[in-house]
Amino acid sequence: MKSNFLFLIIILIIIFCDCANPLPPEGGPRDKRPPGIDSTASSGFSATNFNDDRITLTFDEWVRLKDANKQIVISPPFDEQPVIRVKGKSVIVQFKEKLRSNTTYTVNFGEAIEDITEGNKVENLRYVFSTGDYIDSLRIRGRVRDAYTNKPVEDAVVLLYDNMEDSVVYKEKPFYFSRTNSTGDFEMKNLKEGRYKALALKDENYNYKLDATGEQIGFLEEDLILTDSFRTKLNFLIFEEQQALRLVSAKATQYGRVRFQLNTNPQKIRVQHLTAQRDFPAYAEIENDSIIYWFDTQDTLPEQQFVLYANAELRDTVKVKMPKRTQFMAAESKLKLMFRSATSLGIGSDAKAKYDEALFSAEMRDIHPEKPAEIEFNHPIYEVNGKDILLLEDSLKKPVAPNLDLMEDDRRYLILEYDWKGGVQYELVIPAGALTDIYGLTNDTLRLPYQVKKTEDYGNIDLIIDSLETDKNYLVELLTLKGEILERLTATSGETFEYRFESLVPEKYIIRVVEDDNQNGKWDSGNYLQRKNPEKIYTKTVSEMRADWDVEVVMSLREAPAESRGPLIRPDGKSSNDDKPNLKKGG
């Protein structure tokens, strides 16, 4: 009987466990609805004769603020920022100064308000009120783009002033303003009739003034006259004004190499090394906005002095702490061949460059049939003993005589020139000690295999520009999508310009034409106070490149320049304004 009772207990436990098997609750669908306004508990929308010191917006669920200082925009702005806080389900904007009389205010909350459970954002929430008898109803819209790249500028501010002085952007906040979205577009509503100075600004410190280094500005040619009939879409090109060339920093990351950081890209510059020694090897190379100065002296001073000259623009003296030569020579025992990796920061970077070093390269490297090969080393080369360097042709390893030289503006590159045969393999053999760098270091034996591409692996671009003005000067450039300039030409006379870009790898290219107004060989920015706009840029993207084909590209400068033709060049990305050129089989 006792055993029967135990058996019954076990059966009941099994039944109970089976019935009570825990399962996750299904629940309802995920809440994707943003908080809604409870109008009965909120300040009245579109209120007139407003005389309160705060506005309160109450929602139907608990909310929180996120990135409020950036997202919430009040126009006209206050000298003393209102206090914006959350209390339960309400967002309260507390004014700390007296409101202007007979003025329409707009509070744009952006995406600052979201619920506390799922983070659902309240979008496009604007609260408008007036301290006068009516709400102003005029509006403007437009777009802000970078003057050089033509890329839309996100988070730029468009400013309207009722003060017409040019200096107003330096000392006053605007009467109205709006921010651009990710496509560079903006809209400003609830404006009153009147005459305004309209500007666009990339406001780096968010104080609505042009007062910080690197801030960009754009302006309209004429003041804005705003009436009921105004329908024009405004387009702003913003630019950073050209600054006087100056030295920002100087640092030696190793013995015999100093990186001088400048505030902008120099065209020509000279480095004077103030040392008692004479006739020592020294080279300088320009790398974007830096000067990399290489040298080797017997000067053991821990701090060495340099002077930088750039015509009348710059004359700056600087002292630099120098690592010891003995330690450097102990660590750097050889002149090394460098294969630049995709993540390399560059030989002149403060951070250590990432390279793959090799004495023998098993990887076959392609050579253009009409261009020399460039072989990169870690230090500038001082001397080349070319008689011992061999170039072996085809599978028979037949020795041939190439021309060897050093790149004029960067002696870290050995240039190998030869009348290459398309489709043929070569091997370059550089014996130990054939190359000597500026520190007296030599190389180990190097063997590099090459494969010469065939001429028919490349295409050509036949460019026709049909509308050059005879009294203007132009720069005509061929660029990769990453902004690398492959070829640069000048056009100075005649209405039509024709040129053939030959033997190009079949990929997308950008043709850029710059109106070089001051004939200095580069694009120049504008100047706000001088009412000088940046030099105009026209571009065209060539997307239909094919091997062994010619592409005919026709550009007309009678069309609107880059600022109003949609996406154009982007040195680090693609264009969405790809033109469809004429294709023809190459001959």
Which token pair is 537?
């840029």
Tell me the C-alpha to C-alpha distance, in Å, between residue 253 and each of 269, 271, 321, 340, 353. Answer: 21, 17, 9, 19, 11
Q: Are residues 344 and 439 in the same domain?
A: yes
Tell me the C-alpha to C-alpha distance, in Å, between residue 527 and each of 216, 311, 334, 519, 534. Answer: 10, 22, 50, 17, 8
Q: Are residues 360 and 449 in the same domain?
A: yes
Are 555 and 514 in contact, with CB atoms under 8 Å apart?
no
Question: Measured between alpha carbons, how far is 68 from 74 in angstroms, rounded to an integer?
Answer: 11
End-of-domain residue from the set 238, 255, 281: 238
Q: Are residues 44 and 126 in the same domain?
A: yes
Residue 77 DSSP label: P
Q: Are residues 324 and 378 in the same domain?
A: no
CA proximity to 239, closest of 263, 210, 277, 262 = 210
Q: Are residues 474 and 501 in the same domain?
A: yes
CATH code assigned at 60: 2.60.40.1220
CA proximity to 438, closest of 332, 304, 339 = 332
Residue 356 has what pLDDT? 37
Separation of first and last alpha carbons in the chain: 106
Are 106 and 93 in contact, with CB atoms under 8 Å apart?
no
Q: Are residues 448 and 351 in the same domain?
A: yes
Strand-pair partners of 403: 417
Q: Is residue 319 part of a domain?
A: yes
Q: Is residue 19 part of a domain?
A: no
Question: Measured between alpha carbons, how far is 182 from 396 in angstroms, rounded to an integer?
Answer: 59
Q: Are residues 466 and 572 in the same domain?
A: yes
End-of-domain residue from the set 309, 331, 353: 331
Q: Is residue 7 part of a domain?
A: no
CB atoms within 10 A of CB 157: 19
Question: Measured between alpha carbons, how far is 238 from 224 in angstroms, rounded to an integer?
Answer: 17
Residue 581 has what pLDDT? 54
Q: Are residues 508 and 563 in the same domain?
A: yes
Return the SS3 of 41.
Answer: helix
Residue 348 has what pLDDT? 40
End-of-domain residue from the set 190, 211, 238: 238
**Beta-strand relationship, 113-115 and 314-321:** unpaired
Our separate counts of H helices and E strands in the chain read 4, 44
Are 173 and 160 in contact, with CB atoms under 8 Å apart?
no
Q: Are residues 486 and 561 in the same domain?
A: yes
Query: How many separate domains does the chain show?
Result: 5
Residue 262, domain extent: 247-331
Q: Is residue 195 part of a domain?
A: yes
Q: Are residues 88 and 175 in the same domain?
A: no
Residue 560 has what pLDDT? 54
CATH code assigned at 427: 2.60.40.3710
Q: What is the CA radius of gyration of the chain?
A: 34
Q: Which amino acid is at 9?
A: I
Q: Is residue 478 part of a domain?
A: yes
Question: Measured between alpha carbons, how far is 401 from 389 in angstroms, rounded to an integer?
Answer: 9
* Helices marked H in 97-178: 168-171
Are 335 and 436 in contact, with CB atoms under 8 Å apart?
yes
**Beta-strand relationship, 459-465 and 497-504:** antiparallel
**Beta-strand relationship, 338-340 and 63-65:** unpaired
CATH code assigned at 321: 2.60.40
Q: What pTM did the predictor assign? A: 0.71
Tell me the C-alpha to C-alpha distance, in Å, between residue 367 and each of 4, 418, 452, 576. Answer: 92, 11, 5, 31
DSSP one-letter string for 392-446? EETTTTEEE--EEEE-TT-TTEEEEE--PPTT-EEEEEE-TTSEEETTS-BPPPE
Q: Are residues 327 and 345 in the same domain?
A: no
CATH code assigned at 170: 2.60.40.1120
| Tokens 């909120």 sit on residue | 42
Residue 342 has what pLDDT? 39
Residue 331 has what pLDDT? 87
Question: Measured between alpha carbons, how far is 522 from 494 in angstroms, rounded to an integer?
Answer: 21
Are 412 and 381 in contact, with CB atoms under 8 Å apart?
yes
Which token pair is 451?
């494969």
Question: Measured between alpha carbons, how far is 442 from 381 in angstroms, rounded to an integer?
Answer: 9
**92-102 as b/e: b if 16+ CB within 10 A:** bbebeeebeee
Return the SS3 of 223.
Answer: coil
Residue 460 has what pLDDT? 95
CATH code assigned at 580: 2.60.40.10
Residue 165 DSSP label: -
- SS (HEC) of 476-495: EEEECCCCCEEEEEEECCCC
Q: Is residue 12 part of a domain?
A: no
Residue 32 has what pLDDT? 84
Q: Are residues 504 and 562 in the same domain?
A: yes
What is the chain's pLDDT, residue by residue, as a tens digit (587 residues)? Answer: 555 655 556 555 555 545 444 444 455 567 789 999 999 999 999 999 999 999 999 999 999 999 888 788 898 988 888 999 999 999 999 999 999 999 999 999 988 999 999 999 998 899 999 999 999 999 999 999 999 988 899 999 999 999 999 999 999 989 999 999 999 999 999 999 999 999 999 998 888 899 888 899 999 989 999 999 999 999 999 999 988 888 999 999 899 999 999 988 887 889 999 998 888 999 999 888 899 999 999 888 899 999 999 877 788 999 999 999 998 998 888 998 886 543 444 444 433 333 334 444 557 889 999 999 999 999 999 999 988 899 999 989 999 989 999 998 899 999 999 999 999 999 999 999 999 999 999 999 999 999 999 999 999 999 999 888 888 899 999 999 888 899 999 998 777 899 999 999 999 999 999 999 988 888 999 999 999 999 999 989 998 889 999 999 999 887 655 543 333 332 333 333 344 456 666 55
Q: Is residue 59 part of a domain?
A: yes
Strand-pair partners of 319: 305
Q: Is residue 26 part of a domain?
A: no
